[in-house]
């Protein structure tokens, strides 16, 4: 992916997950933003973005971070939100037996004590395979992979969701369901 696409993807992540107000737009209750307004406001505030560029970011995003509405007028992030008042209305779904979470050593003490917490985001993010979890952990340093007994958690009453781009989401993972490799 070229530099302009990466920069624009990061900008869209910021606006569509965390701070729509940096360009004075609002997300609706399911996280959708009007594309026309987003482009106008971004350009007015110094971030050059065209409809073609936005479409190219959506199409080439390695993690399929963004989705367009059926009518093509709106865009939203598929996961990762911290902004209040947004609910993607994902359907609860039964998870596979195991899921994985990539993290780094400095967080282990807290995780051992309190389990996995969602912190600023709306959910704890889990990966379907170790390779993906490794990439998630690598964002912060040497990755450590935790194995989550997802089926057991589900049987104990915990709810799971699967984002449109394949990220598993849940509210919290208590310590008894976490295993360190
Ligand atoms: C850690 C990227 C101490 C947790 C990725 C993680 C993902 C604790 C960090 C998505 C803890 C939160 C999300 C506890 C959790 N004590 N540390 N009790 N509980 N943590 O960024 O999962 O590229 O909010 O291990 O691919 O790293 O942005 O979550 O390290 O899908 O599209 O607290 O972000 O996607 O960090 O990453 P984050 P994450 P994008």
101 close to 145: Cβ distance less than 8 angstroms: yes
Rounded Cα gap, residues 110 and 116, in angstroms: 8
* Burial zone of 97 (CB within 10 Å; 0-12 exposed, 13-18 middle, 19+ buried): exposed
Pocket test of ligand 1: the residue of 125, 162, 168 to mutate, having most ligand atoms within 8 Å of its CB, is 125
104 CA: nearest ligand 1 atom: 30
Atom index in ligand 1 nearest the CA of residue 102 equals: 25
- Is 117 near ligand 1, meaning CB less than 6 Å away? yes
Supply the pLDDT for residue 181. 65
- The beta-strand segments (E) located in 23-143 are 33-34, 66-68, 74-77, 98-103, 124-126
Tokens of 76: 């939203």
DSSP 92: P
Instruction: Return the SS3 of 66.
Output: strand
Contact 162, 93 (CB under 8 A): yes
Residue with CA nearest ligand 1 atom 29: 125
**Is the Cβ atom of 123 under 6 angstroms away from ligand 1?**
no
> How big, in percent rounded to 5, are the helix, strand and coil portions of the chain?
40, 20, 45
Torsion angle in degrees (nearest 10) through CA of 54, 55, 58, 59? -150
How far away, in angstroms, is 125 Cα from ligand 1 center? 7
Which pLDDT does position 180 carry in this prediction?
A: 83
Q: Are strands 160-162 and 124-126 parallel, antiparallel or unpaired?
A: unpaired
- Pick out the chain residues at pLDDT < 70: 181
């Amino acid at each position: 992916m070229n530099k302009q696409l990466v920069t624009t993807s990061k900008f869209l992540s910021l606006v569509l997950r965390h701070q729509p107000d940096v360009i004075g737009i609002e997300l609706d209750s399911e996280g959708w933003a009007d594309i026309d307004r987003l482009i106008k406001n971004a350009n007015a505030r110094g971030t050059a973005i065209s409809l073609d560029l936005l479409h190219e970011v959506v199409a080439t995003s390695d993690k399929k971070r963004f989705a367009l509405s059926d009518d093509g007028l709106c865009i939203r992030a598929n996961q990762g939100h911290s902004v209040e008042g947004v609910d993607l209305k994902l359907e609860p779904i039964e998870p596979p037996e195991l899921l994985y979470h990539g993290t780094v050593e400095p967080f282990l003490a807290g995780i051992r004590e309190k389990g996995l917490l969602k912190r600023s985001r709306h959910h704890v993010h889990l990966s379907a395979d170790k390779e993906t979890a490794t990439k998630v952990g690598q964002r912060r340093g040497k990755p450590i992979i935790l194995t989550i007994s997802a089926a057991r958690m589900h049987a104990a009453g915990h709810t799971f969701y699967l984002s449109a781009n394949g990220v598993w989401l849940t509210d919290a993972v208590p310590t008894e369901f976490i295993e360190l490799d």
